Structure 1
Amino acid sequence: MQYDEDGYRPTKSVWAWSVVGASALTVVLGFTWGGWTTSGRAAVMADIAVRNAKADLVAGICVHNFVTASDAQENLKTLQAKSSWQRDDFITDGGWTNIAGIDDTITNAADACADQLVKMKELPQSGGDAAVTDS
């Protein structure tokens, strides 16, 4: 350590290590609490958001298709009687998640549709919109 007439005077080595330490601390705090993210993580988050948006859209269409079917009341009773892990298969097998022009299965759409339908106490009246409430 060096001292001059005003007190402590750090060496170049101490200054360099202080800068390195402050930079490292800034990076650690930024990525843990600052909300920073890498471009790879941002891409993953965007892909998840797109997948969830597709599932929500198809689930809404699925609910409409289910409710407007001629045997909707019987199907709703059957759906509600099934266990939670069987409901998505019932929805998929019923064809309510099929959308013209989309050949691929939309991940989580049948689950979301089944969840919305099971929450219904009764089917909406025909001629009206299928109002689905999230509880």
Structure 2
Amino acid sequence: MATQSRKPSLARRWEDYQPSKSALFWSCAVTVAATMIIGFSWGGWVTGGTSRMLATTAGDVARGALASAIRVDRFNAAPDAAAKRVEFKALTDSYKKRQFIETGGWATMPGKTSPDRLDVESCAVALTA
């Protein structure tokens, strides 16, 4: 009778496996590269520069929203706010709306002498909404 050689089990082969140094190095390198690709592509990772840029943008947006709320509040606090709102709503041209707000002084922030163009536009957008 011929002897049958049995193939060792997967668990046994796993225990007996001893990778070479180059195979171990390359498997680690591929794992690191795959982790970085997956992290930056789908994981939502960002670099420090991107993080700073996003934080600055978020701060600017929040600051603009707060300033816009202050401007609308100043407009609504005026003694003739209801009449001014009707007059403002009657204007159809965006340039005339900006002029109306600029002349009224509602877009000028405390401590400044004149409003910025973007300040006037954000005030007009907030009052239109």
Range class of TM-score, shorter chain: 0.5 to 0.7
- 1:46 is aligned with what amino acid? A
Contact map agreement 1:66 1:96 (CA 8 A) in 2: yes
CA distance in 2, matches of 1:107, 1:33: 39
CA distance in 2, matches of 1:104, 1:31: 45
Aligned to 2:88: 79
After superposition, the CA RMSD in angstroms is 3.1
- 1:35 is aligned with what amino acid? G
Q: Which runs of 5+ in 1 are unaligned?
A: 120-135
Contact map agreement 1:58 1:106 (CA 8 A) in 2: no
Higher helix share: 2
TM-score (norm 1): 0.63
Q: Which runs of 5+ in 2 are unaligned?
A: 1-11
User: Do residues 116 (structure 1) and 126 (structure 2) align?
Assistant: yes
CA distance in 2, matches of 1:53, 1:104: 22
The one of the two structures with greater contact order (alpha-carbon pairs below 8 A, sep at least 6) is 1
Contact map agreement 2:101 2:124 (CA 8 A) in 1: yes
- 1:13 is aligned with what amino acid? S
Identity of aligned residues (%): 31
CA distance in 2, matches of 1:13, 1:107: 63
Higher strand share: 1
TM-score (norm 2): 0.65
Aligned residues: 115
Pick which of 41-50 and 106-115 moved more: 106-115
Q: Which has the larger radius of gyration?
A: 2
